Structure 1
């Protein structure tokens, strides 16, 4: 046993928030509390918990999780659960490192040796998409995800949907699979048309066909198409997930381990999904700590489908990616669409603390640029 001695957090580029916990015996663990566009709010929540949890037993991970949830009264939501995720992941890393085993050994043991992965690609035109898809293929990926549309109003011209179909066809022509992310920016009149237009070309899934608050509309769209419906990055606990499972409107759940309270909650959400025959494909356009935490849960998850990861070309040239903050970046090598399980203790990555501390100095919080429509109105990002 060891009591929590310090909890630190580090805002680092491009838009991530890392957490380090040290116990009174000098054991350490790393977590990730990244919440894009809301860094300062998460930091405020962490400040409150740092004051509270110093002196708690670091091994009692579930007790600390339950203390955070049940004694808070006002709970849930992206800010609260992202802060909790940073602490939870770090505590799992600390405990497993102390025992000299990967976290997945503490979660029941692995059910697979490697994980299917996909990466994001951008570009407005089929030629742009083809170029980026080829770059991903050269990295070892066989599956990608891309935005269904850029900016759309409530009812735009149906011609605005044609580019999405052509971009999907361009990726499929390379022998690759592609998920299409509507990103909640496509409103129901357009989303119904786009889902139907894409269906003959067999996308891997359509993601967030509508914003998650419109569960009735999502249910309607799920009944209009045979394409798998994926969502979940904006659901923050098992209680948020439950109505979608009960409605039968989701085929692939995409919880974000940094937004749902960490490893502890991700494992519980995955078990819930298994009882509804729903696959899990964790959302993770984030940093190496979040990805490593996902890998640990993916390893023990019977209903795991595919893991999102952000490698290399996801961000502008010269900015940070998964390899920037770890001493063993080879763990992210992709081969034939898969990555190997992380075999080291804890999260299985070695965080480069000197680099974290260096790049955290004067790091600015990322702000979503949003979309402004032709009439000057604010549209969904």
Structure 2
């Protein structure tokens, strides 16, 4: 799919960029935005392939302060660095202070130049909502952007009047690396993510599982609404990632002689099945918490560069997570504890499989 530049009376934009939607098995907002941006300029990459090549399919981050931006693919272990270089692209991160007019003007000049070349821009926190999205155009007669976000109300492009703080501008600078090399490197990335304890303060891999499980077992009655929402966000991120991992490893197994390939694929499929068992109930609980906390739908996938979540602590120390002393979910406290204990039990079983999968990769 290659888009065309359309020029109307009041705007210039790239047409035919698909709508971004939750719940379609492509919930990693950064990877999905990159995929549609690359598709728009003629690169026929799939979501699953980009999840695998970048390492996002094998990633799990967790922060002890229940930071939901653990789910952001550019937080901690920043997958963008591997992703763009592997495909022969340079992608500079353009960050601005929205209170500085000179920086805002510089951003708009760069956006205009990119759109005029037929290249979308990947940006975070468009419309003020969390997550990553796509700048598909600009307004001609005044400041404003034409965008795709996960929070659009319909299939029409969304008009945004405020500039994003963080954007990636991609440019082709070389050729994509050989598929076999990419596949083999992605296995090394999977092992690295699993066995490295932390990246920039975020627990990773085995350590992330163990920390998460420990907190769920020790403090299930101290989690307030925001933490229950964060918990569901991280859980959904894990489920989406491992579903992509199963698909990616199947693709890899079909292209190269992958040792233990069938067993690795089976392991990831087993993880996906286990995560499904509790995912729906956690989302139901988070939905109740979202309504009770007064937060908007945009809390589904808070990001860091894509949109930082409200800090989870005050004064730099971990405070009780029911900050106002109340639980607004409407769920019985005992019911919440039972569900979180069940979640912990599922994560223990997933971790056991994960360790075996990584052992098979190392073999």
User: TM-score scaled to structure 2, two decimals?
Assistant: 0.25
Question: Quick check: which one's helix share is greater?
Answer: 2
